[in-house]
């Protein structure tokens, strides 16, 4: 793959999508959104007309991807994702051998996916805000120095309050479940980043830093990842709107 990946890791409701959009507002970055949802949605972007540029882009990508990856249907891909990307996938990371056939199939899917996407975009960096820690681990094993990670956290009180909201895409959680989820996911994020820290660049930040001090925070990310974020910094300084890319 000729492109590099910036993978955003963290708990839901912590600002992963916002960070994806901010990073995507630069010449060298392609804001792709939660790419792990591609099989879940059968490769079809939701709530978009067929003449929408985003729909056209992903429809073209889907057709090209399926040409290269005819081995599994979308139901098969969903099974692979359930096994290796969701949080219990940590057990397979710890106890499975690297020659595990099913894991190799999952890695083949990831590699084909990003190779196809790399050929579709002009930018040097692809931003994936799928946020799942186990997915981060597997991507690190495939791309090593060609993938970087940004771990974003948010004030726990605000995250728990956000999970109380209804009528949005993610289902609401009770106070207890939201706290349990937040603790478990952040613990898992720290564990995975500890495992991969010697192979890939990692930046840690909070949503509060990004929103309260965007220039300082984006400059830090820019230096750590050696990437030009000057346009996002300029937009933040002038309070200008951000483009949402191809989320």
CB of 6 closer than 8 Å to CB of 44: no
pLDDT at 72: 82
Its pTM stands at: 0.95
In tens digits, the chain (247 residues) has pLDDT values of 789 999 999 999 999 999 999 999 999 999 999 999 999 999 988 888 999 999 999 999 999 999 999 888 889 999 999 999 999 999 999 887 777 889 999 999 999 999 999 999 999 999 999 999 999 999 999 999 999 999 999 999 999 999 988 777 677 899 999 999 999 999 999 999 999 988 899 999 999 999 999 999 999 999 999 999 999 999 999 999 999 988 8
Give the pLDDT score at 117: 97
Residue burial 59-95, b: 16+ Cβ < 10 Å; e: rest: bebbeebeeebeebebeebeebbebbbeeebbebbee
Say what the pLDDT of residue 71 is.
81
Q: In this predicted structure, what is the pLDDT of residue 104?
A: 92
Q: Which pLDDT score is estimated for 96?
A: 78
Q: Which residues pair with 151 in a beta bridge?
A: 9, 204
Nearest by Cα to 5 from 105, 113, 100, 102: 113
The pLDDT assigned to 166 comes to 79
């Amino acid at each position: 793959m000729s492109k590099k990946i910036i993978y955003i890791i963290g708990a839901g409701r912590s600002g992963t999508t916002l960070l994806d959009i901010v990073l995507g507002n630069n010449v060298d970055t392609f804001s792709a959104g939660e790419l792990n949802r591609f099989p879940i949605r059968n490769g079809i972007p939701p709530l978009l007309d067929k003449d929408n540029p985003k729909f056209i882009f992903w429809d073209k990508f889907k057709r090209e991807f399926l040409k290269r990856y005819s081995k599994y249907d979308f139901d098969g891909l969903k099974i692979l994702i359930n096994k290796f990307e969701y949080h219990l996938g940590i057990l397979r990371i710890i106890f499975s051998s690297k020659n595990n056939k099913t894991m190799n199939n999952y890695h083949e899917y990831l590699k084909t996916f990003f190779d196809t996407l790399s050929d579709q975009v002009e930018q040097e960096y692809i931003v994936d805000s799928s946020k799942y820690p186990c997915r981060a681990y597997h991507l690190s094993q495939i791309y090593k120095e060609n993938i970087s990670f940004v771990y974003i956290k948010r004030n726990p009180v605000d995250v728990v309050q956000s999970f109380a909201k209804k009528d949005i895409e993610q289902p609401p959680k009770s106070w207890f479940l939201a706290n349990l989820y937040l603790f478990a996911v952040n613990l898992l994020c720290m564990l995975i980043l500890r495992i991969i820290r010697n192979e890939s660049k990692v930046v840690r930040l909070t949503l509060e830093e990004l929103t309260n001090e965007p220039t300082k925070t984006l400059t830090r990310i820019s230096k750590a990842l050696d990437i030009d974020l000057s346009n996002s910094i300029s937009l933040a300084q002038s309070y200008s709107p951000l483009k949402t890319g191809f989320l």
